[in-house]
Amino acid sequence: MPVLERAKKKGRKFQNPVETKQAMFGLLFKILKLYKTNKEERIPRHTLGPFHTDASIYDHPPASGLRITWMGHSSMLIEIDGLRVLLDPVWDKRASPVSWAGPKRFFGAPLPLNELPALDVILNSHDHYDHLGAQTIRELSHLPAARNAQWVTSLGVGKRLRCFGVNPEKIAELDWTESLTVAAQKPSSESPTAAELKITALPARHFSGRGMFDRFDTLWSSFVLQGSRHKIYFGADSGLWDGFAEIGRQYGPFDLTMLEVGAFNPLWKSIHMGPDGAAEAFTMMGASGLLMPIHWGLFSLALHAWRQPIERIIELADQSGFKLWSPAPGVPTEVIPGEPHRSPWWRSP
């Protein structure tokens, strides 16, 4: 069983927690041929949305203590036990280094950045374009909502944030198994003292980089968010590996486990596990609480039909009996212990 430990390097390159082969140029040509002959509905034929978030909802804390607004893919606003956390914010129109090409959003952001409530934490799991939007960070770093926020990320990603305008004094970089405790900006009406959130970075089986020559230069992580009443796991991007069982043992059980289900293919299953891998990982972690499928529904990043990830994870949940929690984009939704939630927003009109 893999041991959860600090990240290792070979030279200046970070290493995965288990041996992981990456696509070489020969395989890239094979993938390109598959893209050219692919007939799946990778991009929705019909316009999705528009989705709209009523920002006035954030004037009142969630009765349950845990409320999530999923913005699509892996971007979401989490309200947990008195703190607000923005995860992997990408409001950019494309998950790409350029504005005129690359994977384009299926729908606009449900909530404009300038309508975000005051944030306590902005967390970036790694530096890929579909998890760290350059234009998003540039705008967000100057908004009132982020004025007092603590930026938390993986080792080395701080240089990206600084480049995009984030105050270096507000950035905390975590190695695997390292933790940081963040206090709420101000006490809530329910508590005379400021609430706290413990954030722990944990290993994931993936990679990093924003160009041809910087793969593995920065670290990639999954995260545990633990408040006074709730504990959630944000898997970010990862292939399936035995470490999920150890994460469940050491850090679980979780009220909500967020695992990626999209952008998968057998050719790169070591770094993206897809719905079958997510179901297996959830089982390895103990299958307690609710499973939230993330990393789908916003960008075309693989060969599969855009609905296939959610259709398959629903099928697996029904077969296995675990509880799925999947809200509509932009709808602030409370997480109630033991109560599954399935929005049909993605079904054909």
Q: For the whole model, what pTM was predicted? A: 0.95
- The three-class DSSP label of residue 267 is helix
Range of the domain at 135: 64-342
pLDDT at 280 over 90: yes
Q: What CATH number does residue 161 fall under?
A: 3.60.15.10
Which residues 6+ apart lie within 8 Å of 96 measured at CB?
A: 102, 103, 129
For residue 168, give the 3-state DSSP assignment.
helix
Distance set, CA 193 to CA 118, 148, 188, 249 (Å): 18, 17, 8, 31
214 domain residue, yes or no: yes
Give 269's DSSP letter: T
**Domain-embedded: residue 12:** no
Query: Tens digits of per-residue pLDDT, 287-336?
Result: 999 999 999 999 999 999 999 999 999 999 999 999 999 999 999 999 99
Mean pLDDT of the chain: 94
Does 322 fall in a domain? Answer: yes
In angstroms, the CA 112 to CA 94 distance is 16
Number of domains in the chain: 1
pLDDT number for residue 28: 66
**What pLDDT does 271 receive?**
96
Structure tokens at 129: 């374009």
pLDDT over threshold 90, residue 273: yes
Q: Considering the domain boundaries, does residue 59 fall inside one?
A: no
What's the pLDDT score for residue 37? Answer: 78
Note the pLDDT of residue 187.
Answer: 60
Q: Is the pLDDT of residue 25 over 80?
A: no
Mean pLDDT on 215-235: 97
Residue 347, pLDDT > 60, answer yes
The reply to whether 26 falls in a domain is no
pLDDT of 33 above 80: no
pLDDT digits (tens, 9 = 90+) for 147-187: 999 999 999 999 999 999 999 999 999 999 999 999 998 66
Asked if residue 26 has pLDDT above 60, the reply is no
Residues 6+ apart with CB under 8 A from 156: 14, 173, 208, 217, 218, 219
Is residue 57 helix, strand or coil? helix
Start-to-end CA distance of the chain, whole Å, equals: 46
Residue 29 — very low, low, confident or very high, per pLDDT cuts 50/70/90? low
Residue 279 lies in a domain: yes
Are 262 and 302 contacting, i.e. CB atoms less than 8 angstroms apart? yes
